[in-house]
Amino acid sequence: MKLVWMRKSATVRDVYEQLLERRKIAYTTVMTMMKILESKGYLKKRQQDRAFIYRPAHRQDQVIGKMIREFIDRVFNGSAEPLLVHLIQKRRIGEQELQKIRHMIEQMK
């Protein structure tokens, strides 16, 4: 998704070649993932010549929000608390980030 957002639109080949610069990956894996993202409504496609051109179906913040909600529902039965506890305990959230979170919580009161 990040690559499609950056490019505004991309073919499977575009994404594959860009990913291949960073790590070994199969073309069919990229194709499968893009089809899954399309079936979930994250990408839209149109045919141009012999290739499909994919583009984001929604803004990045909307998709990220939906993906996080789905993850929390699937892994934590809908509760974000275990995820936050894990991130804090394993120091995946730094002190500066914690300060921002505290500030956001105070503003919500």
Residue-wise pLDDT tens for the chain (109 aa)? 999 999 999 999 999 999 999 999 999 999 999 999 999 899 999 999 999 999 999 999 998 998 899 999 999 999 999 988 888 888 778 888 889 988 999 998 7
Q: Domains along the chain?
A: 2-56 (1.10.10.10), 60-108 (1.10.4040)
Q: Which residues, other chains included, contact 3 with Cβ-Cβ below 8 Å and sequence gap of 6+?
A: 10, 14, 15, 18, 19
Q: Where are the beta strands (DSSP E) in the chain?
A: 43-48, 51-56
